[in-house]
């Protein structure tokens, strides 16, 4: 689980800002948290703010840090990622810190870098939650210090070699390099586990993110059943899922000849064909029929059991298309994922947005450590019967154009207060401030 994320000097975040999912002393909705022995961690967070306040930048910071962990600075875009409204920011490092829970123990993993120089300045990993944090490793530029765990005789000599290798690897993270070695050594299990959390358990969905397995939906009965169930519950009008088959050449007729020839060459190498993403954003399954001819299969949607008519996904409403990106997440609601969704309410009806959150709480039982963290403008979620005060966060820019994040829990809010109305009235900030339109020349 994600306990806290901290960012500094990235995009619109100038100073250190933290999203803290540690639960406060609130009695309402106790099922919204996971109770560890010494701390309670929230399973959800809802983040509000005006357009261009920096809500999305908070999630981009998490995603960017994830990309650095998985791919190192050499393989990510490093152009002007610092806070650009202050000239001194260029001379300061960009920092990311994650406090996460794994196997009922808590860890702080952080790194800072001069991103534009592709240079890691600091990196550390501690086990926290104890009276005194236990150092696992700490890095200052290219100097790495090992904690007691990695100084054991069984691993010390090997790690001294790794440390020597890292002296010429200023763009790479020590944690990532060790994890990628896939060493079967018990002392470094935590390093592998933390890397695995970034790779496998941290999911980030943007407004234009598309679910890339739609093309195989017809052949995945379990997934198709899930889609059929929830498309019905969410009142989309879809009653069943089918498939539409097309000739391969017909599907690729609008693709440049050179690209089409290369696709055919690549696809013809194997008998089992994979997935093809088209310029219109749709995903197709490409396969060979019994005559060894290339064919294309795409998802088809049925709206009536009485009329034999199959619709393509592109014919559906934006709301239905959005659900095709969100429904696959439902199966992960009880599987210990941290799911982050930017602009969660995009194209969704307010009641459907609320229903999705209610479904998360319903499926996320007491033993589950899954989390749902979203940005939204949908104020109907601001209902204390649905969310706790400590689950509600706001992002607002200051006079210098820097984003700052703060919790509703810092305000004195009664348990029976109508927080939606108070938010829309501007009592918590983080809403648009419009200048007068009186001086606008309507003849322009």
Longest dimension (CA), the chain: 81
Residue 245 has a pLDDT of: 81
DSSP line for 87-145: GGGGGS-EEEEEEEEETTEEEEEEEEEEGGGTEEEEEEEEEESSSSPEEEEEEETTEEE
Same domain, 202 and 253: no
State the angle between helix axes of 318-330 and 221-233 in degrees (0 to 180), rounded to the nearest 10. Answer: 130
Q: Does position 132 have pLDDT exceeding 70, yes or no?
A: yes
Cα 84 to Cα 79: distance, rounded to the nearest angstrom:
11
In a domain, 152, yes or no: yes
* One domain for residues 235 and 304: yes
Are residues 232 and 193 part of one domain? no
Are 191 and 225 in the same domain? no
What is the rounded average pLDDT of the residues 102-117? 95
pLDDT of residue 57: 97
Q: Note the pLDDT of residue 147.
A: 92
Task: For the chain, give the number of residues.
Answer: 444
329 in any annotated domain: no
- One domain for residues 181 and 273: no
Same domain? For 14 and 117 the reply is: yes
- Exposure string for 318-351, b = 16+ CB within 10 A, e = fewer: eebebbbbbbbbbebbeebbbbbbbbbbbebeee
**What are the tokens at 29?**
């909705």
Instruction: Please check whether residues 272 and 370 belong to one and the same domain.
Output: no
The residue-averaged pLDDT of 416-434 equals 82
Min mean pLDDT across 55-64, 71-80, 296-305 is at 296-305
Inter-axis angle of helices 350-363 and 318-330, nearest 10: 10
Q: Is 324 part of any domain?
A: no
Mean pLDDT of the chain: 88
Check residues 442 and 154 and name the one with the higher pLDDT.
154
Do 116 and 197 reside in the same domain of the chain? yes
Global pTM reads: 0.90
Residues 191 and 218 in one domain: no
Verify that 254 and 376 share a domain, yes or no: no
Distances (CA, A) of 150 to 99, 103, 129, 159: 21, 19, 20, 7
| 132 and 42 belong to one structural domain | yes
Local confidence band at 270 (pLDDT 50, 70, 90 cut-offs):
low
Tell me the mean pLDDT in the region 201-220: 79
Q: What is the C-alpha separation between 314 and 320, in angstroms, rounded?
A: 10
Return the ∠ at Cα 1 (arms to 358 and 111), rounded to 5°.
135
Burial of 50 (C-beta count, 10 Å sphere; 0-12/13-18/19+):
middle
Helices (H) and strands (E) in the chain, counts: 10, 20
Mean pLDDT calculated for residue range 418-442: 75
* Domain CATH code at residue 89: 3.40.50
**Separation in Å, CA 112 to CA 7, 9, 107, 179, 232:** 10, 10, 17, 19, 47
Q: What are phi and psi of 144, to 5 degrees?
A: -120, 130
| CB contact at 8 A, 234 and 355 | yes
- Name the CA dihedral angle for 325, 327, 331, 332, rounded to a multiple of 10 degrees: 50
Number of structural domains in the chain: 2
Q: Containing domain of residue 185, as a range?
A: 2-206+342-424
- 335 lies in some domain: no
Question: Minimal CA–CA distance to 347: which of 309, 368, 321?
Answer: 321
Tell me: do 29 and 123 sit in the same domain.
yes
Question: Which residues, including other chains, have CB under 8 Å from residue 281's CB and lie 6 or more apart?
Answer: 210
For 5, 58, 92, 116, 331, the CA distances from 119, given in Å and listed in that order, are 21, 22, 12, 8, 39
Is 260 among the domain residues?
yes
- 264 or 183, higher pLDDT: 183
């Amino acid at each position: 689980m994600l306990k806290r994320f901290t960012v500094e000097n990235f995009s619109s975040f100038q100073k250190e800002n933290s999203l803290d999912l540690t639960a406060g002393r609130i009695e309402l909705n106790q099922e919204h948290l996971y109770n560890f022995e010494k701390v309670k961690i929230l399973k959800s967070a809802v983040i509000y703010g005006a357009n261009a306040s920096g809500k999305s930048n908070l999630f981009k910071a998490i995603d960017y840090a994830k990309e650095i962990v998985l791919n190192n600075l050499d393989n990510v875009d490093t152009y002007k990622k610092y806070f650009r409204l202050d000239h001194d920011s260029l001379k300061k490092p960009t920092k990311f810190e994650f406090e996460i829970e794994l196997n009922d123990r808590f860890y702080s993993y952080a790194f800072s870098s001069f991103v534009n120089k592709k240079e890691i300045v600091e990196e550390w990993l501690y086990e926290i939650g104890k009276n005194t944090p236990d150092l696992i490793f700490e890095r200052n530029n290219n100097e790495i210090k090992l904690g007691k765990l990695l100084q054991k005789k069984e691993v010390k000599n090997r790690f001294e070699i790794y440390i020597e290798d890292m002296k010429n690897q200023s763009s790479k993270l020590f944690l990532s390099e060790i994890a990628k070695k896939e060493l079967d050594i018990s002392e470094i299990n935590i390093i592998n586990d933390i890397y695995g959390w970034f790779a496998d358990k941290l999911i980030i969905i943007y407004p234009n993110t598309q679910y890339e397995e739609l093309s195989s939906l017809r052949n995945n009965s379990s997934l198709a059943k899930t889609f059929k169930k929830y498309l019905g519950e969410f009142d989309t009008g879809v009653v069943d899922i089918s498939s539409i088959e097309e000739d391969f050449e017909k599907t690729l007729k609008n693709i440049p000849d050179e690209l089409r020839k290369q696709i055919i060459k690549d696809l013809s190498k194997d008998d089992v064909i994979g997935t093809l993403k088209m310029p219109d954003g749709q995903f197709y399954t490409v396969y060979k029929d019994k005559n060894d001819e290339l064919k294309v299969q795409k998802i088809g949607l049925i709206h009536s059991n009485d009329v034999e008519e199959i619709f393509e996904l592109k014919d559906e409403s934006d709301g239905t298309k959005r659900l095709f990106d969100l429904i696959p997440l439902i199966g992960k609601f009880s599987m210990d994922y941290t799911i982050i969704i930017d602009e969660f309410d995009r194209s969704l009806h307010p009641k459907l947005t609320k229903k999705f959150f209610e479904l998360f709480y319903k499926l996320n039982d007491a033993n589950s450590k899954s989390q749902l963290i979203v940005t939204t403008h949908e104020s109907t979620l601001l209902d204390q019967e649905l969310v706790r005060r400590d689950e509600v966060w706001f992002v607002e820019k200051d006079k210098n154009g820097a984003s700052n994040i703060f919790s509703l829990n810092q305000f004195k809010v009664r348990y029976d207060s109508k927080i939606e109305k108070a938010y829309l009235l501007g009592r918590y900030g983080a809403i648009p401030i419009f200048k007068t339109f009186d001086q606008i020349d309507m003849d322009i």
